[in-house]
Structure 1
Amino acid sequence: MRFGKSSWRTFEQGIQKEWLLTNGIGGFANSTIVGVNTRRYHGLLIASLKPPVSRHLILSKIDESITIGDESFDLFSYEVPGFIMKGYHYMEGFEREPLPKFIFRVGDVYIEKTVSMVYGENTVAVVYYVRNGEESINLRLTPLVNFRDYHHCSRKENLNFYKSVAGKDSVILRPQNYDIDITLFCSEGEFKPMDYCWFYNMDYSIERERGMASTEDHYIPGYFDINIEPNEEKYITVIATVEKELKLKDGLKIIGNEIERLEALVKKAGYDDELSKILVRSADSFIVHRESTNAKTIIAGYPWFTDWGRDTMIALPGITLVTKRFDDAKDILYTFSRYVKDGLIPNMFPDEGNEPSYNTVDAPLWYFEAVNKYISYTKDYDFVKDNIYDGLKQIIDYYKKGTKFDIRMDDDFLITAGNEHTQLTWMDAKVGDWVVTPRHGKAVEINALWYNALRIMAELSERYGDSSKSYIELAQKVKESFENKFWNSEKECLYDCLTPNYKDDKVRPNQILAVSLSYPVIEGEMAKKVVNKVYKELYTANGLRSLSPKCREYVGIYIGDQYRRDGAYHQGTVWTWPLGHFITAYLRVNNYSDKSKKDAMSFIEAIKDHLKDACIGSISEIFDGDEPLIPRGCYAQAWSVAEILRAYIEEDLNKGI
């Protein structure tokens, strides 16, 4: 996880790799390895004012300059329309593990810059270590401040601050019309205020590529000047916070606390190999506290997603169970049990006390799989009986008799859901009235999950002394209907979706769940053919394509404005999270042979390279379907990390052959 000048020979190359830090309450810090902000979501402090939401950009960056004699050197980098500032030319290196560290050298002056957040606080610390050469130097640190919702860009006329200097080492800023203070502190030197100073037109190339507003202004309240004597070594701490109290001003202590916390998580998980350690640390980024439920939840992805029910249930085994964070898993499962309504669980929790959004057919069924995984790791049957079991029974009952969004069991015992105007599965892209991937009716993975849920309920019922007969009998009827109706003998795989009018024979990755879940609905030769079809037409080094390139609707590049991107989202774009299920299914149908294990290990090896790309140490949401599989979407996605980690550990791939 160390990078040198070969990683930023050009500006375009340097901005391709990013880093991310999180604070456990929805806030984060992130940028590129060369310090260029290329997204409106980039910044040293994006605070979550109502955890884990109401995220606001507070501190965009700190621009560093040094003066040696009568010469000044700007170490910072940025892009404005028509001009690129290339301070990264003074960078010798960038390190990511465990915290981001930038290494600069100008002549005989050596500077390290390390960034750390304070866990549980909207606070960031930037610590500079300077080892000076033969001459006295001045280090100038200039903060670029903002206050706006992280989904938008601001202009000078929208930014108004009241400023009060608390002392020579700090400044307090208050955004106009807000009861919140932004505190900037520096352990050395002196703060020198400036009046009405602005950084104009910072340009965000990725937002420009996405067809979004891509330039904004930042407020410069002043700067900190630090004099450093010849041959002197000095540590300098800069802290930015919106907390009411600056509890700790020692940057080295802040860094030490965070490193100690991360090392404790790795130790708790108990894995020795480097890939496991990296993914365990990455998993931590997604576990956050939600204020509205007073419980833990899982952020779906950075930099722009919050928490969703479907994503949480799919990610829970890898994010919380494989990492042995069982209390977090229990907290999440219990929270959802409180919100079961009409047989559904929320796909999105409210932030302002409103009713949760329940518009998903698969989240309740993924809930069963998450509960079953929790039991397999913890054997905590008592917790499930006391808190979860009744909700599971309610879900089954409502799916049988029918509930909202036309979700119901049909006469053939399969689940049908939605209509031509709804999108209730994970392939839910919709642009205006255009449902890009219509999957109303009987979707293949929904019915694989339905069978899986019935089998789980049969096992739990027997464990708790209830009759399991009805669940077993219904599961058998579902299995028979599934095999009869979903099998596509012409393509030797499964139909993706069934409606009264047609059978959708597009080859998609959804069918892999029929083989990979705790209770697979198909087995034997049929299952093997499904896995082989997915392998041949959908597998890539970074995940599974959402649609076979052989289909005329296939779109291989995910780029452009929202209309174009949503039109490609599930029409060929590669997703990493189904790869974990593919690995499990591949091993199953090949009876865990040595050859299949070697193949599975090669699938994991291919992903390892990505950990040094995009968001370093994490896994992206999606990739282009066409080579060279350029990372797109969220650069760090919970279910991507979760499913690679789950498959890697649960299938014993970390132990070799």
Structure 2
Amino acid sequence: MLQKDKTILSDFPEAIRHEWIETNGLGGWSSSSIIGCNTRRYHGLLVAATKPPAERMNLLSKLDETIITNSSVGPVSYELGTNLYPNNTIHPNGNKYLQHFSKELFPQWNYRAGHVRLSKTIAMVQNENTTLVLYKVEEATEPFTLELRPFVAARGYHSLQHEGPQLQWNAEFENDVFHTMPDGETNLFIKISGATYQHQPAWFNRFHYSVEQYRGLDFEEDLLSHGVFSIQLQKGDSLGIIISTTDPSDKDATLLFQKEEQRKLSLLNNNTDDVTKQLFLAADQFIVKRGDDLKTIIAGYHWFTDWGRDTMIALPGLCLSTGRYNDAKKILSAFAQSVSMGMLPNRFQDNNEPPEYNNVDGTLWYFIAIHKYLAATADEEFVLSELLPVLKEMIDWHFKGTRYNIHVIEDCLLYAGEKGQQLTWMDARIGDWVVTPRMGKPVEVQALWYNALRIFADLLRKNKQEEDAAMVELSAEKVKHSFETLFWNKQAGYLYDVIDEEGTPDPSLRPNQLFAISLPFPLLEGEKAKAILDIITRELYTPVGLRSLARGDERYVGVYGGSPLKRDGSYHQGTVWTWLLGPYADAIYKVGGDEVKEKIKQIIDAFAYHLNEGGIGSVSEIVDADNPHTPRGCVAQAWGVAEWLRIVKEMHF
């Protein structure tokens, strides 16, 4: 079980390094640090996806609790909330009452305040913008009062709120249900059975978000509280609270929670290993609705939407390794409907803005995802009738040329790039500065292109198009020959990272060359593959992923932090990426076979501690390249979870 004891919970700087997140299958979430102190603009008790899976609104930032007991000298108050204000002022410091935090199916807290011991669990309702907060009085020598103060943000999830007339102060409380429309448009309901309500609207100013400060962004926010709820409780009592964008008058918090509990248990597929169970639960958080009957994958929480590249890389682990074949089918269908000029969208945007197509590799990863889907399901009818025509369109466009100068050149390799554009997964850009432009022929793009051709040929053959398949296979062989001629860096003993637009090879030691070994159809085998694996192990491997650049490179940055300029400048210049453990394990197996499975298991097991740091129960997007490999970026990243889970299931660990 993932857990933190009082020693960590009472240590404020350490405690706020750990976060939790619950999601709702729509793209919304509930999240904070494990002591309830919000450290990001993205933390909120109810962050609703108003137009799933996008347009998230941080509606209710938090709900702070106060326990009031009676004593011989009068009422005694214990404020359980924890907030940070300027000058490192912590008020209240309710984390001193926290005894225990754990994450199994849901995040759970245990408080002790005076003679009261109170447990709290937070959950979200699937396919609703609804958060549940459940309390149980474990101990109390006499009745006490629980006061609950909601703090409303009511703003877009990327922005911050500040005191002003833009939020509505009016609210109503009838039949146990509080209702307001803080922004004049969005409903906020809070159902607390048996409570009374005092309307005391007021702004609370200068909540300090330390992670935003570290990220070089604006980091103070004002929140509106409409009033205070009060309820009398005693030992053995339970209290369920529903926070929602829809009227919960006829709903019961306990019944909703039990339904969600059963849903999560059903996801586990009889897995008994604690790590695997957490990975299954983490995988579920990224799979969300798109439209009425399609699905997609959120790339990462808290700030990504669905990205084509991330979705296709993550699909095998999140869907196929967990037996969610129908979800995989719906995701493949959703993206097939968004193909334009032979390209998969790089990302879908908020606010009804059109999709972006600025990537070269996402489209090629689509072929890999389909190949693995077919291997897992044998669903030839769907693949050949619905997807094969889309794949043909993609191949045709790549041969004749599509956006961003993406086209096949005379050696059958794939060229991509225009000045000012970032098209590979190493896509950091600051204004007009593309940090790693990689224009020309990137190494992993050639590996993906070769695999796309081989997969397309296989599907043509399954579709009884033998002559067409043979022609595509001939192109694939030309790719392989050209690749071996151009990319091997004989002096260094590994592959060039890119052959640039002038034909100059880039000897940067990066992990991208792994894909020439790790994909279903490898471009390299034997001694060259072993040499690549050896140098990557020596220079790039860490227990939590692979460095994006070798330490000896003058551009190497060991710690990811600071302003957006500094962060984006280091994003792929050393920073460790957790998802790369997947292709690394694949490459080890391709080189060593069954004899190295124990070595792969040791690598996977060495990563397990990461579930109990950063985003508890999930996998961070990135970590610092230098020790102690501090988690950074998104606290929950789809392809990081997916690749770990995929290796565990494929290797039968």
- The normalised TM-score by structure 2 is 0.96
Measured against aligned partners, the alpha-carbon deviations of 1:255-287 in whole angstroms (never above 9, x if no partner) come to: 2111110111112xx533222211111000000
Amino acid at match of 2:122: V
Seen in structure 2, the aligned counterparts of structure 1 residues 168 and 463 have a Cα distance that, compared at 3 Å, is: closer
Aligned to 1:284: 284
Aligned to 2:8: 7
Seen in structure 2, the aligned counterparts of structure 1 residues 337 and 6 have a Cα distance that, compared at 3 Å, is: same
Measured against aligned partners, the alpha-carbon deviations of 1:426-484 in whole angstroms (never above 9, x if no partner) come to: 11111111110120100000000011111111211111100211111111111111111
How many Å apart are 1:158 and its aligned residue? 5.4
Distance 2:638 2:426 in 1: 17
SS at match of 1:20: strand
Pair 1:76 & 2:75 matched: no
Measured against aligned partners, the alpha-carbon deviations of 1:326-365 in whole angstroms (never above 9, x if no partner) come to: 1111011112222222221111235565542211110111
Q: Residue 123 of structure 1 contacts residue 240 of structure 1 at CA under 8 Å; is this kept in 2?
A: yes
Among residues 484, 503, 516, which one is paired with 2:505 in the alignment?
503
Distance 2:354 2:131 in 1: 34
1:245-644, aligned counterparts within 5 Å?
245-246=247-248, 249-267=251-269, 270-291=270-291, 295-349=294-348, 355-467=354-466, 468-499=469-500, 500-593=502-595, 596-644=596-644
Aligned to 2:126: 119
Pair 1:171 & 2:172 matched: no
Among residues 188, 191, 197, which one is paired with 1:182 in the alignment?
188
Measured against aligned partners, the alpha-carbon deviations of 1:377-396 in whole angstroms (never above 9, x if no partner) come to: 00011100110001111111
Aligned to 1:221: 226
Seen in structure 2, the aligned counterparts of structure 1 residues 350 and 30 have a Cα distance that, compared at 3 Å, is: closer
How many Å apart are 1:592 and its aligned residue? 2.3
Seen in structure 2, the aligned counterparts of structure 1 residues 166 and 141 have a Cα distance that, compared at 3 Å, is: closer
Seen in structure 2, the aligned counterparts of structure 1 residues 74 and 446 have a Cα distance that, compared at 3 Å, is: same
Seen in structure 2, the aligned counterparts of structure 1 residues 375 and 162 have a Cα distance that, compared at 3 Å, is: same
Measured against aligned partners, the alpha-carbon deviations of 1:542-570 in whole angstroms (never above 9, x if no partner) come to: 10000001111111111001000000000
Structure 1, 379-388 or 106-115: larger mean CA deviation = 106-115
Measured against aligned partners, the alpha-carbon deviations of 1:211-232 in whole angstroms (never above 9, x if no partner) come to: 1111111111111111235xx3
SS at match of 2:340: coil
Q: Residue 318 of structure 2 contacts residue 642 of structure 2 at CA under 8 Å; is this kept in 1?
A: yes
Distance 2:339 2:116 in 1: 61
Distance 2:195 2:376 in 1: 53
Measured against aligned partners, the alpha-carbon deviations of 1:272-320 in whole angstroms (never above 9, x if no partner) come to: 32222111110000001123x7521000000111101111111110111
Structure 1, 2-11 or 415-424: larger mean CA deviation = 2-11
Pair 1:651 & 2:651 matched: yes
Seen in structure 2, the aligned counterparts of structure 1 residues 405 and 247 have a Cα distance that, compared at 3 Å, is: farther
SS at match of 1:259: helix
Seen in structure 2, the aligned counterparts of structure 1 residues 494 and 158 have a Cα distance that, compared at 3 Å, is: farther
Distance 2:398 2:650 in 1: 30
Amino acid at match of 2:477: Q
Distance 1:354 1:9 in 2: 44
SS at match of 2:237: strand
Among residues 131, 136, 159, which one is paired with 1:152 in the alignment?
159
1:44-83, aligned counterparts within 5 Å?
44-69=45-70, 70=74, 71-82=76-87, 83=89
Structure 1, 597-606 or 342-351: larger mean CA deviation = 342-351
Structure 1, 452-461 or 368-377: larger mean CA deviation = 452-461
Seen in structure 2, the aligned counterparts of structure 1 residues 463 and 247 have a Cα distance that, compared at 3 Å, is: farther
How many Å apart are 1:168 and its aligned residue? 5.8
Q: Residue 493 of structure 1 contacts residue 530 of structure 1 at CA under 8 Å; is this kept in 2?
A: yes
SS at match of 1:297: strand
Amino acid at match of 1:205: S
Measured against aligned partners, the alpha-carbon deviations of 1:519-548 in whole angstroms (never above 9, x if no partner) come to: 111111111111111111100011000000
Distance 2:590 2:634 in 1: 31
SS at match of 1:66: strand
Amino acid at match of 1:601: K
Among residues 105, 109, 116, which one is paired with 1:98 in the alignment?
105
Distance 1:57 1:354 in 2: 20
Structure 1, 22-31 or 150-159: larger mean CA deviation = 150-159
Q: Residue 371 of structure 2 contacts residue 455 of structure 2 at CA under 8 Å; is this kept in 1?
A: yes
Distance 1:532 1:102 in 2: 45
Pair 1:16 & 2:26 matched: no
Aligned to 1:242: 245
Seen in structure 2, the aligned counterparts of structure 1 residues 159 and 355 have a Cα distance that, compared at 3 Å, is: closer
Q: Residue 584 of structure 1 contacts residue 651 of structure 1 at CA under 8 Å; is this kept in 2?
A: no
Aligned to 2:146: 139
How many Å apart are 1:2 and its aligned residue? 2.4
Measured against aligned partners, the alpha-carbon deviations of 1:401-448 in whole angstroms (never above 9, x if no partner) come to: 211110111111110101332111011111111110120100000000
Q: Residue 9 of structure 2 contacts residue 99 of structure 2 at CA under 8 Å; is this kept in 1?
A: no
Gap regions ≥5 residues in structure 2: none
Measured against aligned partners, the alpha-carbon deviations of 1:162-190 in whole angstroms (never above 9, x if no partner) come to: 523232623211124x3322112211221
Q: Residue 132 of structure 1 contacts residue 228 of structure 1 at CA under 8 Å; is this kept in 2?
A: no
- Residues matched between the structures, number: 643
SS at match of 1:465: coil
Distance 1:338 1:227 in 2: 54
Aligned to 1:210: 215
Distance 2:209 2:250 in 1: 33
Amino acid at match of 1:198: W
Amino acid at match of 1:238: I
Distance 2:594 2:559 in 1: 35
Distance 1:374 1:247 in 2: 43
Amino acid at match of 1:442: K
Q: Residue 457 of structure 2 contacts residue 470 of structure 2 at CA under 8 Å; is this kept in 1?
A: yes
Measured against aligned partners, the alpha-carbon deviations of 1:493-530 in whole angstroms (never above 9, x if no partner) come to: 10000022411000001100111111111111111111
- The normalised TM-score by structure 1 is 0.96
Structure 1, 440-449 or 70-79: larger mean CA deviation = 70-79
Distance 1:127 1:621 in 2: 30
Structure 1, 532-541 or 349-358: larger mean CA deviation = 349-358
Aligned to 2:199: 193
SS at match of 1:639: helix
Seen in structure 2, the aligned counterparts of structure 1 residues 402 and 193 have a Cα distance that, compared at 3 Å, is: same
Q: Residue 162 of structure 1 contacts residue 175 of structure 1 at CA under 8 Å; is this kept in 2?
A: yes
Q: Residue 511 of structure 2 contacts residue 548 of structure 2 at CA under 8 Å; is this kept in 1?
A: yes
Amino acid at match of 1:503: P
Distance 1:319 1:224 in 2: 41
Structure 1, 439-448 or 111-120: larger mean CA deviation = 111-120
Q: Residue 3 of structure 2 contacts residue 612 of structure 2 at CA under 8 Å; is this kept in 1?
A: no
Aligned to 1:110: 117
Seen in structure 2, the aligned counterparts of structure 1 residues 73 and 353 have a Cα distance that, compared at 3 Å, is: closer
Q: Residue 122 of structure 2 contacts residue 131 of structure 2 at CA under 8 Å; is this kept in 1?
A: yes
